Amino acid sequence: MTNEIDLEELETKATEAAANIATFKDEIQAMLDLDATDYNELRKKANELHRNHVIYTRATNIVNRETMRAEREAKIEEARARREAEKEARREAAEELKKKKAAELEARKEANKMPEQNGVRRPKPDTQAGALWAMADKMSEVLNSPVSGKEFIEAAELEGYKISSIRTQFAMWRKFYGLTKPKAPATSKAPTEALKTPPEPVSKRTNKAKPGVKSRAKNTTKAEPKVEAEQPNV
């Protein structure tokens, strides 16, 4: 802000000095045209003319220099802003391209996605699992019915596939086409021994004498006569 105020003041001084220069030139020329010339006055006006020339020259040089500096700084700032804008534009373009590529990749993945049913996704044809599935499809098409496990395992082993891979992929293939039978729910089996020996009736269990009780009763009856026989002696 100070530089702007200084420039305005310098421009004002330069304008005033230019006006003074023109005035002093006219006055000096008028004095020279006269026969009776006051050289002291002429010398003063010449000095003022010189002084205003100096003021005008210095002020004009400073104004021009500061103006050029301001224009240079403005160009530098403009170039910097342009670079920042270009950088931001490139960043946005790269981000947009990245999103576009991601969308295209996702679209290709979705387009190449194998079908899924019964909770199983069909393997891609260029894989080992896909080759086994294709073999099962072809054998089923020839037989006009789903190929059996025995036939498929024999044919796949002849092709050089491992038995573990064959069994796994055949089970997945059957599940994909809904050929797997659902497992029956587990039922609790009744114990056979409990059915063979029926429980004893309640009446018989309650009336049955416990061993040891009868013997104690017999012992008490035998002991009583001995007690009565001994009483008279007392």
Summarised one tens digit per residue, pLDDT across range 19-47 is 888 887 887 777 777 765 677 887 887 88
Tell me which long-range contacts 12-19 makes (C-beta under 8 A, separation of at least 24).
Answer: 13/55, 13/56, 13/59, 14/55, 14/56, 14/59, 14/60, 14/63, 16/55, 17/52, 17/53, 17/55, 17/56, 17/59, 18/52, 18/56
Tokens found for residue 146: 């789903």
Residue 170 maps to a domain: yes
Tell me, yes or no, whether 206 lies in a domain.
no
Across residues 77-93, what is the average pLDDT?
A: 94
Q: Which domain holds residue 44?
A: 2-105
Please, what is the Cα angle at 127 between 121 and 132, to 5 degrees? Answer: 75
Helix/strand/coil for 116: strand
CA atoms of 52 and 14, how far apart (whole Å): 9
Q: Is residue 194 part of a domain?
A: no
Give pLDDT, residue 223.
44
Pair 94, 69 in one domain: yes
CA distance 132 to 174: 12
- pLDDT of 111 reads 76
173 or 206, greater pLDDT: 173
pLDDT reported for residue 186: 56
Domain boundary among 176, 206, 226: 176
Is 203 domain-assigned? no
Total domains in the chain come to 2
> In the predicted model, is pLDDT for residue 187 greater than 70?
no
Residue that is last in its domain, among 105, 130, 156:
105
Mean of all residue pLDDT scores within the chain:
78
In this structure, are 30 and 101 located in the same domain? Answer: yes
Look at 104-108, 151-155, 183-187, 207-211 and tell me which has the smallest mean pLDDT. Answer: 207-211
Distance CA 194, CA 64 (A): 121
pLDDT at residue number 38: 74
Q: Which of 176, 192, 207 is the last residue of a domain?
A: 176
Any idea what DSSP says for residue 126? T
Q: How far apart are the C-alpha atoms of 52 and 18, rounded to whole Å?
A: 7
